[in-house]
Amino acid sequence: MSVWAVLAAAGSGERLGTDRPKAFVRLGEQPLLAESLERLDASDWVDAIVVAAPPGWEEPSILLAEELGCSKVSSCVTGGQTRAESVKRALAEVPDDAAVVLVHDAARPYVDDAVIERVLTALNEGWDGAVPALSLSDTVKRVDGDRVVETLTRAELRAVQTPQAFVAHVLRDAYENGDLATATDCASLVEARGGRVKIVPGDYRLVKITDAADLERMAPLT
Ligand code: C5P
């Protein structure tokens, strides 16, 4: 079973307020992208990697992979306007005979083998896809402007992370036929096509780095 990883790293990182895209801000000693790149490359579960780089940062992304000795990086594509567009472009570089695609956000640097094993095991059980998720500690409300419309049942809700794993042809179908404009993760596109997606335990270290405070909080973990 060949497993191809797609690393979505093309976000602008506007909310970080830096002069460079999020994948190239420093996390400890290295660019943020380096952490997930090295970890995916070192994983025995992963056979090859396609990186979606920020426009204009393709060359530095390839150089970084070379410097780190990440030999599994097969190609680097120019990311699109949205995460879904970036993943779609990377998916086009995944060969037809790939069995599984593992999609991961570079903004979640601390991916590890334990979570990769959990999502891949679910595919072996026959699921179309699997996503790591955490229960919520906050109560979540649906709103209309500043008016509360509804309070959702917390026990039924999960905060979903990456890496997300999918049977390759299921993910391709979802990206070819789905509404990419509204998708904030891959699983939602698969669900919309009737795919069966399993929830597996996530990890608090997989929280997404969005702003400067997240960077400060996460850097000591490197
Ligand atoms: O911006 P957001 O939080 O949705 O980003 C999640 C992941 O998707 C990040 O790793 C980011 O680099 C990536 N992304 C992308 N292309 C975009 C926007 C986000 O690859 N156009």
Quick check: 185 and 160 in contact, CB under 8 A?
yes
Q: In whole angstroms, what is the distance from residue 51 CA to residue 183 CA? A: 19
Q: What is the pLDDT of residue 218?
A: 85
pLDDT, averaged per 10 consecutive residues of the chain (222 residues), comes to 96 87 93 97 98 97 98 98 98 98 98 98 98 97 98 98 98 97 97 98 94 85 71
| This prediction's pTM | 0.97
Give helix then strand counts, H and E, for the chain. 7, 12
Is CATH 3.90.78.10 the classification given to domain 3-221?
A: no
Q: What is the pLDDT of residue 220?
A: 74
Quick check: 6 and 102 in contact, CB under 8 A?
yes
Phi–psi pair at 51, nearest 5 degrees: -105, 135
Most ligand 1 atoms within 8 A of CB, residue of 16, 51, 81, 83 to mutate: 83
Kind of pairing, strands 3-8 and 100-105? Answer: parallel
Q: What is the pLDDT of residue 193?
A: 98
C-alpha 146 to ligand 1 mean position (Å): 27
Under DSSP, is residue 131 helix (H, G, I), strand (E, B) or coil?
Answer: strand
Most ligand 1 atoms within 8 A of CB, residue of 105, 207, 209 to mutate: 105
Find out whether the beta carbon of 11 lies less than 6 Å from any atom of ligand 1. Answer: yes
Closest CA to 72 of 98, 21, 23, 38: 38
In the chain, where the domains are located = 3-221
User: Is residue 157 packed enough to be buried (19+ CB in 10 Å), middle (13-18) or exposed (0-12)?
Assistant: middle
